[in-house]
Structure 1
Amino acid sequence: MGCSSCSTGKDGQPRGCKNNGTCGTDGCNKLTVFDWLSNMSLPSGHQPFDCVEVRFKNSRKEFFRNNENLTLSIGDVVATEAASGHDVGIVTLTGELVRVQMKKKKVDWEDPSLPKIYRKASQRDIDVWTNVRNKEEEVKKRSRELAIALGLQMKISDIEYQGDGSKATFYYTAEERVDFRQLIKDMARAFNVRIEMRQIGFRQEASRLGGVGSCGRELCCSTWLTDFRSVNTSSARYQQLSLNPQKLAGQCGKLKCCLNYELDAYLDALQEFPKADIKLHTRKGRAVCQKIDIFKGFLWYAYEENSANWHKLMLDQVQEIIDKNHNDVKVESLEEFASEISEENTKREFENVVGQDSLTRFDQPKKKRKSKSRKKRSNKKTARKKE
């Protein structure tokens, strides 16, 4: 997604609005939502919902009560209540959809302790907010140096300053528990702000930092994914994927979230197939399932004595053999069933979807150049003929 400022520049390169996640139109920010009720008016006698959704740095969103009845719309910069001082954020949702979001996230809109919106941000608030946001990269670099000097096994991945610049939240990842009491003292002395350390998981770190996945698109966790479900290696086994950690792991180092997207469809399709631990009993020996292709309906079996030689069977043939085995009847061998599959139905040749033209059909044919020696010989022959 992009805003009106994120157009292409010179030579077709993306120009970008360069607002660092604070775009006023909210069109190029993470987890942007669309208010499909914005053009609809409320029925007579109904008061507008007095809570709004405000987004801060990256994907952090919170709900605030609009006690002052300010006229707010998506993209407005507001000053909100914080634990101490005030914070600055961007309004991302207003109206009845906020009630739906609060119900989804189990937030009570009747809670009197719900934080409030003070005012629309003044120019001074925006200037202070912009200045502290510009210092975050430098502070993050310095904080990493302090952590390395103390020998702490942790990684400081992101920093978020409060809107008034009085507090800084450091997000870090660590494998084990870290004693960072001395680190907090050193950072408070170096940066002269209140320090809050918040540990996040590796998936949350990837969602905050963003990036491009192996599919060539932006990470799902940084664009639209809001909940992180557990991903197991069984998801890859059900989809007949090779258990290669380099291909199955994302940028967070964990299994990719997209392994769960099509898992339900695979599980429904596998219900028509026999279980992989069922063995086929033949007079030649017992056969074990080696591979399943749920799209074409093929199964590969191999004898226990000769596991290197696989036999491809259709789903109906396997069901027939299993039914005979239940009646204590053994088939002769797998070869007689595998030979029934015609090669014409299984083997597909390459089809040129573009046409039968070659790739060099637009190239100009090269002219043959005669060598100088050949030209001399041909000239001598013509001279002799004239004589």
Structure 2
Amino acid sequence: MSEVFENDIDFKSDDLSFLEDPIYEDYSNKECENYVFPEPLYKTKLEYSSEAVYTIAPNDMNLEAGDYVIIPTRYGKDIALIMGIATKPIGICPDDVVTVERKATSQDLEKAADLRNKEESAFKIFQEKAAAHHLEMKLIATHYLLEEQKILFFFSAENRVDFRELVKDLVSVFKMRIELRQIGVRDESRITGGLGICGRPYCCHAVSDRLKPVSIRMAKDQNLSLNSMKISGQCGRLLCCLSYEYDWYVEARRKMPNEGIRFFYDGTSFRVIETNSLTAMVKMIGDDGRILEMPVSRMKLIDGRWKIIN
């Protein structure tokens, strides 16, 4: 009855190299960028994990945002919430989409509510059993599938955990299939939710779990402080929002000279020491020690070389 799965994460040395790692897998598929779905494509959410699932449904279902539906998931059939129609699905392929089986009935909703209450008890039982086996693991969430005899346990740990004996104990208590998933700190934040330093809900929890990969270069190109405390979220990884305006900064920087470029101006040679994409200003230092700030509108790339034109 039990199922033991490989832990989901690879552990590396705990250093600042994590800043270079993508926060999220890049889900977009360039081969499907221009694919047009013949029917409405719904963005659906698994509330227990905040995972997004793209779904289609027969038109006669008349689905609206806020409706609950039954869909197939990687764990089994379960209840999910319709968030709305995906008006501009980019990089979503037909293979990424599942079909809604039916609308959730009032009985389904009552059963789901009862299972939520049972999850609280299962949460405590798991913690007791893990402590009895002296396992260093932090339980994040528990979930009963609506139409499957299965319980999911999501946990985090600093190292890999051998939970085989624990699973046996849990099977003897719950008399159903048990699935344990070890997750990383990013997924922990996505599941539990919370407020970021901006005062708004975590992007990974409230916006989407399918965000662009984020790298330390994005912070550098936006002239942000590289203090990890300022550019990292509660999960200890780079802020999701670093990618939101990055394309604009990349385009803006193309219209500006790079740091280190030299100009001859007012009788001396100046070197670019700083550029500001938002103000479109360039700061330079001259060989004579003078520091100048000049709008990029006074500069032009001519024959591969930047020159001051007025």
Residue 278 (structure 2) aligns with: 295
Cα distance in 2 for partners of 1:138, 1:243 equals 44
Mapped pair 1:107 → 2:95: yes
Cα distance in 2 for partners of 1:102, 1:193 equals 39
Deviations 1:107-135 (A, max 9, x none): 387x9xx7844x75353x44432222112
Deviations 1:275-308 (A, max 9, x none): 11335689x998654432233343334579x9xx
Per-residue deviation at 1:214?
1.1
1:274-353 correspondence runs (5 A): 274-279=257-262, 289-302=272-285, 311-315=291-295
Deviations 1:8-50 (A, max 9, x none): xxxxxxxxxxxxxxxxxxxxxxxxxxxxxxxxxxxxxxxx969
Per-residue deviation at 1:213?
1.2
Helix, strand or coil at the partner of 1:107:
helix
Cα distance in 1 for partners of 2:153, 2:90 equals 27
Change (3 A) 1:144 1:99: same
Per-residue deviation at 1:250?
0.8
Q: Normalized per residue, which structure has more strand?
A: 2
Counterpart residue type for residue 231 of structure 1:
V
Mapped pair 1:163 → 2:146: yes
Gaps of 5+ in 1: 1-47, 327-387
Cα distance in 1 for partners of 2:263, 2:285 equals 10
- RMSD after superposition: 4.6
Change (3 A) 1:49 1:285: closer
Deviations 1:229-282 (A, max 9, x none): 221111111111111111111122110011111112112221222211335689
Counterpart residue type for residue 313 of structure 1:
E
Query: Quick one: which of 242, 246, 263 aligns to 1:259?
Result: 242
Counterpart residue type for residue 195 of structure 2:
V
Greater RCO structure (CA 8 Å; 6+ sep)? 2
Query: Quick one: which of 69, 79, 92 aligns to 1:89?
Result: 79
Higher Cα radius of gyration? 1
Counterpart residue type for residue 57 of structure 1:
E
Counterpart residue type for residue 213 of structure 2:
S
Q: How many percent of aligned residue pairs carry the same amino acid? A: 29
TM-score, normalised by the number of residues in structure 2: 0.64
- Is the 8 Å Cα contact of residues 70 and 100 (structure 2) preserved in structure 1? no
- Is the 8 Å Cα contact of residues 55 and 89 (structure 1) preserved in structure 2? no
Cα distance in 1 for partners of 2:44, 2:297 equals 60
Per-residue deviation at 1:100?
8.7
Gaps of 5+ in 2: 1-37, 306-310
Cα distance in 2 for partners of 1:189, 1:98 equals 43
Residue 204 (structure 2) aligns with: 221
Change (3 A) 1:194 1:310: farther
Per-residue deviation at 1:138?
3.6
Residue 105 (structure 2) aligns with: 121
Residue 119 (structure 2) aligns with: 136
Change (3 A) 1:268 1:147: same
What number of residue pairs does the alignment pair up? 264
Per-residue deviation at 1:150?
3.6
Cα distance in 1 for partners of 2:175, 2:138 equals 21
1:4-83 correspondence runs (5 A): 55-58=45-48, 59-60=50-51, 61=53, 63=55, 71=61, 73-74=63-64, 75-77=66-68
- Is the 8 Å Cα contact of residues 262 and 271 (structure 2) preserved in structure 1? yes
Change (3 A) 1:244 1:76: closer
TM-score, normalised by the number of residues in structure 1: 0.53
Residue 194 (structure 1) aligns with: 177
Mapped pair 1:249 → 2:193: no
